[in-house]
Amino acid sequence: MYKNFENVTILEHPLIKHKISMLRDKNTGTNEFRSLVEEIAMLMGYEALRDLPTEDVEIETPIEKCMTPMIEGRKLAVVPILRAGLGMVGGILALTPSAKVGHIGLCRNEETHEPEEYYCKLPTPIDERVIVVTDPMLATGGSAVAAVNFIKQHGGKKIKFMSIIAAPEGIDRLMAAHPDIQLYIGQLDRCLNDDAYICPGLGDAGDRIFGTK
C-alpha cells in the first residue's frame, strides 16, 4: 500500500529492483533496455495477475481424468499506452498468450506536459475483460488518467495499471481520478524535475526502447 491508497502495490521483489537499476543506467543500450522492460513486465505481471479468475476444466492425466483450474486468457486485454507501453506487452503476453491487445496513442505536449491523443483502439467486448494497461513511466499522471478515462468511456470496468517507475505526483493524480483501479509500480522515485521527467528515473522511456531521440 502507498499512503492511504489501498489499491496501490509497490512491488518489492529483488529481481525487479535489480533489473530497474540496470534500466536506469545511461550506458544500457537499446537492445538490452528493451529486453529488460519485457522481463520486468513479466515479473510484475506475475504479481498483478494473481487474482485472475480461473475455471475448472477436465484434463486427462496419464493416471486419470480430473477437473483442474485454468485461466480464461480470452477474458484479458492488454492495453499499452504508445509508444513506451508497447515495450511491456511481450512480457504480459508471455504469461497470458491468448489475451487480446488494444492500443492507446498518447504523446505529452513538451510545453504543457499534458497528453495529446492520436490513436485509440480497444478489443471488444471491453466491459467483460480484465484490462491491463501498460506504461513504464507514471510521471505527472496526465497520460495515465487520460488512458483510463478513455477505457471507462468505452465501458471498461476492471482495470489494472502497470508502471515500472512512478513519481509520487503521478500516483496521487491517477488514484485521485480513478480510485477504483489497481495500480502496480515497480519502483517509487523521488519527484519530477522542471521538465516533468522522473528523478532519478531512466530518461525518456520511448526513446530508449525504440532508439530514437
Answer yes or no whether residue 139 interacts with ligand URA by CB under 6 A: yes
The label of the residue with cell 513511466 reads 137
The active-site residue out of 108, 129, 173, 208 is: 108
The answer to whether 97 touches 46, Cβ cutoff 8 Å, is no
Q: In the annotation, is 129 catalytic?
A: no
Q: Minimum distance from CB of 1 to ligand PRP (Å)?
A: 21
Cell 480513478 found at: 178
Closest approach of ligand URA to the CB of residue 199, in Å: 8
Pair 48, 184: CB distance under 8 Å: yes
| Minimum distance from residue 37 beta carbon to ligand PRP (Å) | 11
Active site (annotated) includes residue 108? yes
Question: How far is residue 30's CA from residue 48's CA, in Å, rounded to a whole number?
Answer: 26
Cβ count near 56 (within 10 Å) = 10
Which one of the listed residues 112, 180, 190, 212 is annotated catalytic? 112
The DSSP 8-state label assigned to residue 75 in this structure reads G
Residue from 109, 197, 200, 212 binding ligand URA (CB under 6 A):
197
Q: Which of 86, 122, 174, 205 binds ligand URA (CB under 6 A)?
A: 205
Q: Of 3-62, which residues contact ligand URA (CB under 6 A)?
A: none
Q: Is 135 a catalytic residue?
A: no
Q: Which grid coordinates belong to 178?
A: 480513478
Enzyme catalytic residues: 108, 112, 204, 207
